[in-house]
Amino acid sequence: EAELAVTGGASPRVSPFAGEQDIGALMQRAGFALPVVDSDKIIVHYANPLKLMQDLRGMGASNATHNRLTRPTRRGVLLKAAEIYHEKFAGADGTVPATFHVIYAIGWAPDESQPKPLRPGSAQNKMAEALKAAEISVDEKARP
């Protein structure tokens, strides 16, 4: 929106995002065993949008798309973007929020000592007993 207002055109500005499922699938394809993926959404309030932009650049969250512009973004575009962001998202205290979706992933190199999944139906205890819950058969309907 800001680039269009200042230059009359727009270029790609957002890098592709990978979700938890994407990361887990990539880990499995890379050969990791027992991959675990978790995430947090963290909201940070900034004094102004330019401070947010500074932090994004500092953490390497700049434009990584292949077809991005190679020249630096014009100052007028950055200032207009900051103005628009502030108008749309500033709170009563004047700060602007930014939500960061942080994904954590861990996996291990395959090894014979790792636990193996049991075959279906081989459990010795029922989950309903462990959870102290009523067991509902496939044919029954759950009741509130």
Handedness of CA 53, 59, 61, 67 (dihedral sign): positive
> Between 74 and 121, whose confidence is greater?
121
Q: What is the mean pLDDT of residues 11-37?
A: 86
Distances in Å between the Cα of 28 and the Cα atoms of 6, 11, 109 are 45, 34, 11
Model confidence pLDDT, tens digit, residues 44-95: 999 999 999 899 888 887 766 666 666 667 788 888 889 989 999 999 999 9
Our CA angle for 8, 14, 17, nearest 5°, is: 160
The pLDDT confidence band at residue 23, using thresholds 50, 70 and 90, is very high
The domain locations on the chain are: 2-109
**92-117 per-position pLDDT tens digit:** 999 999 999 999 999 999 998 888 87
Q: Looking at the whole model, is its pTM more than 0.75?
A: no
